[in-house]
Amino acid sequence: MSMDAKTVLLGVTGSIAAYKAADIASGLTKAGYAVRAIMTKAATEFITPLTLQTLTKGKVYTDMFEPVAYEDVRHISLARGADLCLIAPATANIIGKLAAGIADDMLSTVVMAVRGVPVLICPAMNTAMYENPITQGNIGKLAAAGYRFIEPKESLLACGDLGRGALADVETILAEARALLEG
């Protein structure tokens, strides 16, 4: 990876699709991008930070209040250093937090501080949650503010339901990320 590699903030939230974040992180890293992974506490219940650390060859951020050995304000420096903020998978919870301006964990705090670069959100949740009018209103509110979305696909979901809510294909997410970074 070159010194001038573009930087992707990869936010991972507590969806069963969190395991696909490993493929996303790997694909971005292999394409030459610097990947800074930020995981919610719930995401760490599905996939370990060590997995993403190994694939990105960098620290994985999970805690806003960890003791620091650096002199910057970490959530601000992460936001300022980004060329793209990608949240995959994005739960109804993170979408709702962002739409309401709630910044109460490392990921939501960093995203709220991102300015001037695209934020790409890839929802993944049960169909009923995705189609819920509140979730759809939150997506609409974020889209109106300039956030971008990759629609979930229709599939057999982890709960056994068939419907829209599965994380978009990894290849689709990587292609859109590359287009935003290189476009």
**Confidence at residue 103, expressed as pLDDT on a 0 to 100 scale:** 96
Residue-by-residue DSSP string for 58-80: S-EE--TTS--SSSS-HHHHHHH
**Confidence at residue 56, expressed as pLDDT on a 0 to 100 scale:** 96
Question: Active-site residue among 50, 73, 145, 159?
Answer: 159
Per-residue pLDDT reduced to its tens digit, 39-81:
999 999 999 999 999 999 999 999 887 666 555 566 777 878 8
H or E segment and range at residue 38: strand 34-39
The DSSP call for residue 125 is: -
**Domain ranges, ordered by start, for the chain:** 7-20+27-182
Q: Are strands 148-149 and 162-166 parallel, antiparallel or unpaired?
A: unpaired
CATH class of 7-20+27-182: alpha beta
Q: Which of the two residues, 116 and 156, has the higher pLDDT score? A: 116
**Confidence at residue 155, expressed as pLDDT on a 0 to 100 scale:** 87
Q: Amino acid identity of 16?
A: I
Look up tokens 């959530």; give the residue.
75
* Mean pLDDT over the full length of the chain: 92
pLDDT at 136 over 90: yes
Q: How far is the CA of 164 from the CAs of 72, 140, 152, 154, 155, in angstroms?
A: 41, 17, 6, 4, 6
Q: How confident is the model at residue 112 (pLDDT cuts 50, 70, 90)?
A: very high
Is 85 annotated as catalytic?
Answer: no
Instruction: Report percent pLDDT > 90 for the chain.
Output: 81
Q: Which of 138, 183, 181, 146 is nearest to 35 (CA)?
A: 181
**Confidence at residue 160, expressed as pLDDT on a 0 to 100 scale:** 80
